Structure 1
Amino acid sequence: MASRRTARTVRVLAAAVALTLSQTPMLLAQQQGAGAAREVGVVTLEASDVPYSVTLPGRSTAFEEVAIRPRVAGVISEILYEPGSDVQKGDVLFRIDGDTYQADVDAAEADVAGAEAALRSAETTLSRYEKLVGTGVTAADVDTATVDVMQAKATLSAAKAALELAKLDLERTEITSPIDGIALLPEVSVGDLVTANQSDELTTVTRIDPIYVDVQESITRIQQTRDRLDQGSLTRGDRIEAELELETGRMFEGQGTFVSPPVSVSTTTGTSVVRLRFDNPRRGILPGQFLRVKLTFGTTPSILVPQGATSRASDGTLTAFVYAGGKAEKRTLSSQGSYDNAWIVTEGVEAGEQLIVDGLRNLQSGAAVSPVEVTISETGVVTRADGTPESFGGAPSSGDSTGNEG
């Protein structure tokens, strides 16, 4: 029995030794492979002047908007426009029954005629008295005639003023548009009684070409931008460019111009309002819309690092790998926003260094790597310099977050 157990033990040991010897070449090969440098795709970083832009929320406001109200009382006799139609300055929108006002004009004209006749009579009397002074007409009579002429002139002036007022009231029975624009629905109907300068408007005329867009910006960022301009880290452009993004994400055609710079700060939000003006010939923007405005202040010297080649840790730290001395070296980056799917990096990498953009999966700092020049498209597709679309190991490890900031 003991001899049989000994024989079995010997056979087991022999089998174990044989298995170990058979796996030794494989283990050696794996160890040699682990020590070999892995290929990674790299691009050479270049310094460039990158546009410095900020995107702000905004709201559109009519260029001009006027509430139409009557200046005289009466009954609406006509509505002379189509709701929603274009009207020009001076176009008649409403007409008030003007019979009473025409009668007032006729009466005022009669008063003027009477005052003119009275003045002629007084002037004739004064002229006759001046010729008869000393022959039955005293100096007192001449003085009285002079006063009568002056009173007649004053009466005539008052009558003419009353006539002008009567004519103005008659003209105001035709209610016109004071601006070019679009006339909205009327708030009254024919036959309605209106009063002079009433609080309720008859309609509203709105001009939306051009149109204003008001945006709010933090006073802190405004001051930071001014500091960068003063320090020279931001180069001012010929003009501040303003682009408008619609709710659909489509960019609005045309550039905006500044109307009002920030002149005050809200005590509750700490923001300032900036007003821009955009041409709106096709009326693609209506008052009250919420929009996004991209403002480009100038350019800043920096390096563009593709977002797909970076990782962002849970604490917000932005990192990337560069090829240095045959190894992958992890760098911490300082960025100032993004541009065309790339981070605008001001610290952490230098122009001329090789950024690892592919083969990032499970890559560790200090790992031996072999760089292969590649190109990267705007959409993040990596291709070898010879045109071969081949990956070197995929995207960054899942432990880090990548993509857009914030």
Structure 2
Amino acid sequence: MYRIRPVVCLSFLALWFLSLPALSQDAQMPPPKVGVVTLQPQSVPRIVTLPGRAIAQSEAAIRPRVTGLVTEILYEPGAALDVGAPMFRIDPTTYEANLKSAQAQVTSAHAALTQARTSFGRTERLLGSGTTQAQVDESRAALEQAEAALQSAEAALTLAQSELDWTTVTSPINGLASVAAVSIGDLVTAGQADPLATVTQLDPIDVDMYEPSARLLSLRDDISEGRLQLKETLQATLTLETGETYAATGELVAPGFTVSTSTGAVDTRFRFDNPRRLILPGMFLRGQIDLGTTEAFLVTQNAATRSKTGQLTAWVIRDGKATQVDLVDDGTYQNHWIVTDGLEPGELLAVDNLAALSDGATVTTVPVTLDENGVVREQPAETAAGPDAGPDAATGADPAPADAAPAE
């Protein structure tokens, strides 16, 4: 009796399996299912996001207008001051004396004027009876000199009174006062370079936003060619450094007219109410300016990728096959790219199961919906697996419920 060797049996089985018809890969793996949405152009708010920096609307450096010793500091640092609130007092002794001297000069000038006026009247009446015309002219000149001397004395009195008033240094604006830079007993001089303190107005507050000049030219082209419908009044919102959205809306104060040689940006100023003083001068912010509306496609950011060169791409389904297209975007709006070129109305945009896509691959489209954040949240079971399907053809499992979230 002959015994069949195991090696011969294994070889025979291998040859038998190789002789069977090869099963196609397509028969083993059905086309991947891809969630899609149908795109249509729509009016999209054109909102640009710009870096910004807060600037105090008014900031006054308090300097003395007279020379003397500081005798009192009349305010509390950090206190809110109104216009005219006293801040410092300078020794008034010299200026009080100057005022009294100026008052005496005015009194003397009044007496001299009275005498000159009386003399002129008497000389004028005696003209032709013991008084010549030359004497009358001389008397008139003396009267005019007396009037001029009175005016000079009154001007000196006004200056002396002003200098005495200036010994009390007051705030010229409403705002918050800084810590005093001088102490009682310090000598200050009129018009010195170093301020005694500063007063800063925080409500309202201005914010400078910096727009690249290249983008500004692009916006002007869009306006001239009708792609952007500009608003009559430009308004802006702010995002604070903490990520919090600032409650107030800013109004345009002045557009920029020059380009910075260091940054290549145009400075545009907006003004915001700041009653809680959340925004401080020098604070860096992020501003959003609502320019108007433009006709474009909204592509959820989850469905598009940007390459290292900055090119934005997305997957669309054409004739049942996946195609990667290059997009031209013009900013963002509510977690979506604003796409102005690269798509056609009615096009199917792939938004789910993107990892299974390759250029030219055959896919099965499944209509899905997106929530307000651009994330797939609803995928009806009868649409995903077909109205008559039982277990899922790809996984062999029951189809997911309608409200189930898609797999990552």
Flag whether TM exceeds 0.5 (same fold).
yes
Which secondary structure state, in structure 2, belongs to the residue aligned with residue 361 of structure 1? helix
TM-score normalised by L of structure 2: 0.86
Equivalent residue for 1:303, pick from 288, 293, 297? 297
Instruction: Give the CA deviation at 1:312.
Output: 4.0
Distance 2:203 2:120 in 1: 64
Q: Is structure 2 residue 170 aligned with structure 1 residue 176?
A: yes
Instruction: Give the CA deviation at 1:69.
Output: 1.0
Instruction: Give the CA deviation at 1:353.
Output: 2.3
The equivalent residue for 2:386 is none
Distance 1:376 1:134 in 2: 112
Q: Is structure 2 residue 89 aligned with structure 1 residue 95?
A: yes
On the 8 A contact 1:375/1:385 being kept in 2, the answer is no
Alignment of 1:80-229 (within 5 A): 80-229=74-223
**More displaced stretch, 132-141 vs 66-75:** 132-141
CA deviation profile, 1:364-392 (whole Å, cap 9, x unmatched): 3333332222112215234213534254x
Equivalent residue for 1:258, pick from 219, 229, 252? 252
Aligned length, in residue pairs? 387
What one-letter code is carried by the residue in structure 1 that aligns with 2:364?
Answer: S
Distance 2:265 2:187 in 1: 46
Alignment of 1:7-406 (within 5 A): 11-16=9-14, 28=23, 32-34=27-29, 36-377=30-371, 378=373, 380-385=375-380, 387-389=402-404, 391=406
CA deviation profile, 1:130-151 (whole Å, cap 9, x unmatched): 4444554444444443333233
Distance 1:137 1:9 in 2: 162
TM-score normalised by L of structure 1: 0.86
Distance 2:100 2:210 in 1: 58
Distance 1:366 1:18 in 2: 36
Instruction: Give the CA deviation at 1:184.
Output: 1.0
| Closer, same or farther: CA 19–184 of 1 in aligned 2, 3 Å | same
| Closer, same or farther: CA 362–163 of 1 in aligned 2, 3 Å | same
On the 8 A contact 1:358/1:382 being kept in 2, the answer is no
| Closer, same or farther: CA 266–316 of 1 in aligned 2, 3 Å | closer
Instruction: Give the CA deviation at 1:208.
Output: 1.5
On the 8 A contact 2:209/2:269 being kept in 1, the answer is yes
What one-letter code is carried by the residue in structure 1 that aligns with 2:404?
Answer: P
On the 8 A contact 2:34/2:364 being kept in 1, the answer is yes
On the 8 A contact 2:300/2:374 being kept in 1, the answer is no
On the 8 A contact 1:52/1:300 being kept in 2, the answer is yes
Which residues of structure 2 form unaligned runs of 5+? 382-401
Distance 1:15 1:134 in 2: 160
Distance 1:350 1:43 in 2: 13
**More displaced stretch, 200-209 vs 321-330:** 321-330
Instruction: Give the CA deviation at 1:232.
Output: 1.0
CA deviation profile, 1:11-53 (whole Å, cap 9, x unmatched): 34444356668xx59x64865233x443322222122112222
| Closer, same or farther: CA 44–212 of 1 in aligned 2, 3 Å | same
**More displaced stretch, 97-106 vs 264-273:** 264-273
Which secondary structure state, in structure 2, belongs to the residue aligned with residue 126 of structure 1? helix
| Closer, same or farther: CA 158–57 of 1 in aligned 2, 3 Å | same
**More displaced stretch, 10-19 vs 255-264:** 10-19
Which secondary structure state, in structure 2, belongs to the residue aligned with residue 259 of structure 1? strand
